[in-house]
Each structure stands twice: as structure tokens, then as C-alpha cells.
């Protein structure tokens, strides 16, 4: 999701629609749930910083079965092996930057509190 937000931001998009099959992640991004897993707080902070750069954001949960292509891409990125007959040609991302390049250092250091 973060890389997709970076691409939309770099393209100067103002209106975006996020569709995802992870209800937990989507509810954390919409602040319905708190992100309390220490290893994920940085990603949560980065996603929210990017989301603030858009004029309108629509977030929709899709069941995994309705989001098969995105699920396959996520599994490929994680190193999970997908049978060749179930994969599509990968998309090419040009000018790839590190997620850390897009944010001031102070945004990358989450403040944990009770």
C-alpha cells in the first residue's frame, strides 16, 4: 500500500481509492483500530503521512477472493511461491525510491505512548 501511495503522490494524484483485502490494515489506516504492533508502527506512520497529501481518499475492503490479483502480487513480493499457471506478467515500476527517501527523518521515528 505504501508503494502505491508513493506512486500516486509522485504522479500528483489528488483523489485516490484504496482497495484492500486486509481488514486489519484498512481499519488501522482509518483509525478505527490502533496500530500497536511495534514493528508496524513505522509503516502506519508512513502510510498516514502519505494519505494526508491527497485531497480525497476512499478506502474499501474487498474480500480476498475479489482481490486475487493484488493478493498474488503481495505474495510474490513477500517471496511466497505462486504456481506459474496462476501468475500474470509483473508490472514495472520506474524510478523506484526507498520509502525512507520520501519523508523527513522526524516522521520516521514513531512516538509510542500509553
Which phi and psi (to 5°) does residue 60 adopt? -130, 135
> Structural domain of residue 96, as residue ranges?
2-108
What is the pTM for the complete model shown? 0.59
What is the domain count for the chain? 1
111 confidence band (pLDDT: 50, 70, 90): low
38 confidence band (pLDDT: 50, 70, 90): confident
Domain of residue 62, CATH code: 3.30.420.10
pLDDT tens, 1-34? 888 899 999 999 999 999 888 888 899 998 899 9
The answer to the question of residue 55 being in a domain is: yes
Cross-strand partners of 23: none
The answer to the question of residue 76 being in a domain is: yes
The answer to the question of residue 114 being in a domain is: no
Amino acid at each position: 500500500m505504501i508503494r502505491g501511495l508513493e506512486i500516486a503522490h509522485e504522479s500528483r494524484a489528488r483523489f485516490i481509492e484504496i482497495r484492500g483485502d486486509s481488514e486489519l490494515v484498512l481499519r488501522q489506516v482509518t483509525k478505527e483500530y490502533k496500530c500497536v504492533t511495534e514493528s508496524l508502527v513505522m509503516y502506519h506512520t508512513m502510510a498516514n503521512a502519505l494519505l494526508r497529501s491527497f485531497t480525497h481518499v476512499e478506502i474499501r475492503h474487498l474480500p480476498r477472493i475479489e482481490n486475487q490479483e493484488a493478493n498474488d502480487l503481495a505474495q510474490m513480493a513477500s517471496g511466497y511461491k505462486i504456481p506459474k499457471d496462476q501468475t500474470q506478467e509483473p508490472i514495472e515500476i520506474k524510478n523506484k525510491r526507498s520509502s525512507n527517501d520520501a519523508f523527513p527523518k522526524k516522521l520516521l521515528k514513531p512516538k509510542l505512548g500509553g
